[in-house]
Chain A
Amino acid sequence: MSTVLILGAASDMAVAIAKKYAAEGNAIQLAARNIQRLQPLQSDIAIRYNTTCTVHEFDALNFNSHQAFFDQLPVKPDITICVFGYLGENETARASWVESEKIIHTNYTGAVSILNVVSNYYAAQQKGVIAGISSVAGERGRQSNYIYGSAKAGFTAYLSGLRNRMFHEKVHVVSVQPGFVYTRMTENLTLPPLLTANPEAVANTVYKAVAKKKNVVYVKWFWRWIMLIIKSIPEFMFKKLKM
């Protein structure tokens, strides 16, 4: 049995991941800004899966609190999964720095800040697993969501560097690249059903990737190929597309 810390535990993806790990007999630590929202999930997981589940207040944007947050965890997690993210609105973000900042800080700065803390601890004890949920949107900037995409690109690069560093510390880092996922974040978008995964599929991918020590995984296999194609379009053509 391991203890699994889930950062950003109130999202649909996080709920699915928490349930998957609980169903496999692990203890769960749920961390998010609003503890009250987490309480029903806590009782649900504890009762349904007969396991330990605790809740912890965590705000991705409150960087200064991250070290204290981790230090105060009563049990240190064996696996840390960074799920939080904020899609935001590209249109709004273009006009408002507040929105841009929220997108960048939630998806990138906040993630770097907390994972620095966690990875330093894991490095010191020479074990641990970190999984980060990034996005295919980070693989090439597109006019429709390049602010979010660039923050995720930063996160993807961070995870890759972290993996490189932590390999030498016996710590494993997994990058998960979901494509479209049906969640609260995307409920107002019309998504192509064939390309869209449900949160449970993401949870299964994360679980397997961690267990098998994968480096970079895509939730639906064809996203790897779609992104390969998108990345190989020459820039002079790409800039003319409406994507």
Chain B
Amino acid sequence: MKKEIANWGNYPVMESDEQQFSFDDQLQQMVKDTHHFIPRGNGRCYGDASLGGQTISTLKYDKILSFDVQNGVFECQSGLVLDKILEVIVPKGWFLPVTPGTKFITVGGAVGSDVHGKNHHVDGSFSNHIVEMDIVLADGRVLTCSPTQYPDLFEATCGGMGLTGMISRVKFRLKKIETSCIKQKQIKADNLEHIIQLFEEYKHYTYSVAWIDCLKKGKGFGRSILILGEHATINDLNDKQRKDPLQLPKKKQITFPFNLPSWVLNTFTVKAFNFLYYGKNFKKEINNVVGYEPFYYPLDAILHWNRGYGKKGFIQYQFVVPMNAKQGLIEILQRISDKGIGSFLAVLKVFGKQESLISFPEEGYTLALDIPVRKGLFEFLDELDQIVLKYGGRLYMSKDARMKPEVLEAGYPRLQEFKDIVKKYNPDGKIRSTQSDRLLLTTN
């Protein structure tokens, strides 16, 4: 059915013919019969990675195939949303090995973007935990791949933005937990130097992330809050929590009802927000035990918060620079603060070592910024791209809606190898997105 679709950033919006399926045989037929298409999960990537003239949505293809409760191995169809997985595994004492900052993504999307969580430096990205998966190739054939079976297909599918084929079945390992709570520590950092030093000091923590105020100038430039966490053990819980240590969060969600006019989100309001946010954490350090939802998914509590950025939408700019390129981080934050570009969200994380073909993570610092679309923004981001490249970094395709193909090429040293594998399994570029065409990954 033809309809207007956009991903989380609401930019770009485009008309697409979207097909849905529920069964394996239907999927294979659809892939064979469709002229060209891109797989689409829950549209939680920000830009145009799962957009195209034709899309095949996995959302009705969401069945659990097996769950080995003893060994924590879970198998499902690719359209299953993480939220639904948690409902099943948490009460049995298991957790997702890696989760992004929202639980409203599909397993297919988790693999297509090879998502990372706050524990990347300890547990790597999602694909590190895959036992095997099935891919429906452009010609309708189904191949089972793993790190040892069709390893080229496997590697190029992890983070390959759907271009190798439709991921249909994924089997992956879970993480054992004793309770559904997180022992959280929040530390306030005065500036950028300080937060980097804190990351270093607390790197033994499984989960870590920092929220940065990127408008503050002068001495407080880069002031932030470091949020650390560990899965709580029974001993960490109070008596009330101990009665049901693996309980699921109670459902309560607020929906952001409409698009805010874009003037609402000007520098002033962002400053006020940041003032309140950082002001709230008046103590130097807070330690507490919280449910897993506020810890992993603080933004999910407000459905459709993306509408707060107005009709024109926004871009999330996420890059990584190597460990020794802190200066790059400073330079970019400086540029943003000079430009006075409002961003509610500036999230800093540290990645651990990762060898990958096309996945985003590599050892270093990664920063993600939300910036509303406005005149001059893309030119400004082109300048930031140059700084990222100068320091040997790269951008996250899952958040991208505008980078130039040269920027991708300069950031991913194994790009040609990736393109060759895509060509092998998707020879006519039948599987293609607006993004892959823009980045010259599928145009012949």
Instruction: Encode contact with B along A1-27: 1 for CB under 8 Å, 0 otherwise.
Output: 000000000101001000000000000
Instruction: Encode contact with B along A184-221: 1 for CB under 8 Å, 0 otherwise.
Output: 10011000000000000000000000000000000000
Query: Which of B20, B24, B65 is close to A187, meaning CB atoms less than 8 Å apart?
Result: B20
A188 touches B63 (CB 8 A): no
Q: Which residues of B contact A (CB under 8 A)?
A: 1, 20, 22-25, 60, 62-67, 77, 87-88
Query: Which of A12, A34, A40, A188 is close to B77, meaning CB atoms less than 8 Å apart?
Result: A40
Instruction: Encode contact with B along A42-69: 1 for CB under 8 Å, 0 otherwise.
Output: 0110011000000000000000000000
B23 touches A10 (CB 8 A): yes
Q: Closest chain B residue to A38 by CB distance?
A: B23
B1 touches A43 (CB 8 A): no
A187 touches B1 (CB 8 A): yes
* A72 contacts partner chain B, Cβ-Cβ < 8 Å: no
* A231 contacts partner chain B, Cβ-Cβ < 8 Å: no
B20 touches A47 (CB 8 A): no
A40 touches B25 (CB 8 A): no
Q: Closest chain A residue to B89 by CB distance?
A: A47
B1 touches A188 (CB 8 A): yes
B88 touches A47 (CB 8 A): yes
B63 touches A37 (CB 8 A): no
Query: Which of B20, B22, B25, B66 is close to A43, meaning CB atoms less than 8 Å apart?
Result: B66
* A96 contacts partner chain B, Cβ-Cβ < 8 Å: no
* A232 contacts partner chain B, Cβ-Cβ < 8 Å: no
B66 touches A47 (CB 8 A): yes
Contact residues in A for B20 (Cβ distance below 8 Å): 184, 187
B66 touches A36 (CB 8 A): no
Q: Closest chain A residue to B66 by CB distance?
A: A43
Query: Which of B23, B60, B87 is close to A37, meaning CB atoms less than 8 Å apart?
Result: B23
Q: Shortest CB–CB separation between residue A74 and chain B, in angstroms?
A: 23
A10 to B65, CA, bound (A): 16
| Interface SS majority for chain A | helix
Given contacts A34-B23, A43-B64, A44-B64, 14 further A-B contacts (CB under 8 A): A10-B23, A12-B22, A37-B23, A40-B77, A41-B63, A44-B62, A44-B65, A47-B66, A47-B67, A48-B64, A48-B87, A48-B88, A184-B20, A187-B1
Contact residues in B for A47 (Cβ distance below 8 Å): 64, 66-67, 88
Q: Shortest CB–CB separation between residue B14 and chain A, in angstroms?
A: 20
B65 touches A40 (CB 8 A): yes
- The 8 tightest CB contacts between A and B, nearest first, are A40-B63, A44-B63, A44-B64, A37-B23, A47-B64, A47-B67, A43-B65, A48-B88
- 9 A-B pairs (CB sep. < 8 Å): A12-B22, A36-B24, A36-B25, A37-B23, A40-B65, A44-B62, A48-B64, A48-B88, A187-B20
Which of A10, A34, A40 counts the most B-chain CB atoms under 10 A from its CB?
A: A40
A37 to B24, CA, bound (A): 7
A15 to B22, CA, bound (A): 11
Q: Shortest CB–CB separation between residue A101 and chain B, in angstroms?
A: 24
Contact residues in B for A44 (Cβ distance below 8 Å): 62-65
A43 touches B63 (CB 8 A): yes
A15 to B63, CA, bound (A): 11
Q: Closest chain B residue to A15 by CB distance?
A: B22
A43 to B25, CA, bound (A): 18
A40 to B23, CA, bound (A): 9
Q: Shortest CB–CB separation between residue A21 and chain B, in angstroms?
A: 17
Q: Closest chain B residue to A190 by CB distance?
A: B1
Contact residues in A for B64 (Cβ distance below 8 Å): 43-44, 47-48
B25 touches A184 (CB 8 A): no
Q: Shortest CB–CB separation between residue A218 and chain B, in angstroms?
A: 26
Contact residues in A for B77 (Cβ distance below 8 Å): 40
A66 to B246, CA, bound (A): 46
Q: Shortest CB–CB separation between residue A233 and chain B, in angstroms?
A: 32
A98 to B90, CA, bound (A): 51
A65 to B274, CA, bound (A): 69
